[in-house]
């Protein structure tokens, strides 16, 4: 199975901050990388697919980049509604493994 | 509007069985692969199983292979997950998710395996 490792596991940030979350795959996955946001008690929501494509309806402050094994999710200016847990997932091969999650908390 | 609604969760004893369903609407169901993803209490997301649009191809996480069976009925726009030989570690909220990108998710159904 492909292992997905996110860092950091958690972070504290203030409204307006630029936030970066990284995800590393244990083998090359091209751009088969998706990012999800999950708020407590809710289903995950797709933010980014194909490493850098913004899902319809997602604010442009979210962006993704990367290729191969190293990927990044960036929130350019953190908003109050962005405090949540973020997961990466590879869709290169089954099982479609997720990272362990990054919890973004209010500083 | 795309909608996915899971059902069938509940309390089951270890070793027991349960069948989950996901009713889909708002898109051409047979055109898309579908998935089950679970989340144990306080834990992260775990992809459980996936099935192709026609139902001809299936795949499973190692943790459930041989115990769970994913299927679909394209005439009823329904995705199913038959879960057998359930263990305490299968306790989780189970979500169905559409397509390779998981672009739509249901609200989830809770499965609790306990004596």
Query: In the predicted model, what is the mean pLDDT of residues B80-102?
Result: 97
Q: Characterize A32-44 residue by residue with b for buried, 16 or more Cβ atoms within 10 angstroms of its Cβ, and e for exposed.
A: bbbbbbbeeeebb
Q: Under 8 Å CB-to-CB from B28, ≥6 apart: which residues?
A: none
Query: In the predicted model, what is the mean pLDDT of residues A17-24?
Result: 98
Smallest CA-to-CA distance from A86 within A66, A102, A72, A98 is with A102
Please state, in angstroms and rounded to a whole number, the distance separating the CA atoms of residues A16 and B4.
34
pLDDT for position B76: 98
Q: If interface means Cβ-Cβ distance under 8 Å, which residues of chain B face chain A? A: 35, 37, 44-47, 50, 59-62, 95, 100-108
Mean of per-residue pLDDT scores for chain B: 97
B44 has a pLDDT exceeding 90: yes
Give the nearest partner residue to A49 out of B35, B46, B101, using CB atoms. B101
A106 has a pLDDT exceeding 90: no
pLDDT in tens, B58-89: 999 999 999 999 999 999 999 999 999 999 99
Query: In the predicted model, what is the mean pLDDT of residues A43-61?
Result: 98
Q: Under 8 Å CB-to-CB from A65, ≥6 apart: which residues?
A: A51, A52, A71, A72, A74
Please state, in angstroms and rounded to a whole number, the distance separating the CA atoms of residues A41 and B63.
24
Please state, in angstroms and rounded to a whole number, the distance separating the CA atoms of residues B115 and B105.
30
Query: In the predicted model, what is the mean pLDDT of residues B32-50?
Result: 98
Name the token pair of A7: 């860092």
A107 has a pLDDT exceeding 90: no
Q: How confident is the model at residue A17 (pLDDT cuts 50, 70, 90)?
A: very high
Q: Characterize A56-65 residue by residue with b for buried, 16 or more Cβ atoms within 10 angstroms of its Cβ, and e for exposed.
A: eebeeebbbe
DSSP state for residue A55 in the 8-state scheme: P
Give the nearest partner residue to B44 out of A45, A95, A101, using CB atoms. A101
């Amino acid at each position: 199975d492909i292992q997905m490792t996110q860092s950091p596991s958690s972070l504290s940030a203030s409204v307006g901050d630029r936030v970066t979350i990284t995800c590393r795959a244990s083998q090359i996955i091209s751009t088969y990388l998706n990012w999800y946001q999950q708020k407590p008690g809710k289903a995950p929501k797709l933010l980014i697919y194909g490493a850098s494509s913004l899902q319809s309806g997602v604010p442009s402050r979210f962006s993704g980049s990367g290729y191969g094994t190293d990927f990044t999710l960036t929130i350019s200016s953190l908003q109050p509604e962005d405090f949540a847990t973020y997961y990466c997932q590879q869709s290169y091969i089954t099982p479609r493994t997720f990272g362990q999650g990054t919890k973004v908390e209010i500083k | 509007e795309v909608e996915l609604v899971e059902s069938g969760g509940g309390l089951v004893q270890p070793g027991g069985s349960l069948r989950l369903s996901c009713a889909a609407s708002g898109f051409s169901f047979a055109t898309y692969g579908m998935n089950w993803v679970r989340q144990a209490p306080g834990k992260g997301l775990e992809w459980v199983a996936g099935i192709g649009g026609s139902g001809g191809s299936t795949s499973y996480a190692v943790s459930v292979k041989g115990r769970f069976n994913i299927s679909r009925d394209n005439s009823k726009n329904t995705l199913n997950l038959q879960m057998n030989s359930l263990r305490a570690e299968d306790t989780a909220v189970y979500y169905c998710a559409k397509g390779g990108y998981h672009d739509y998710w249901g609200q989830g159904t809770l499965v609790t395996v306990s004596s």
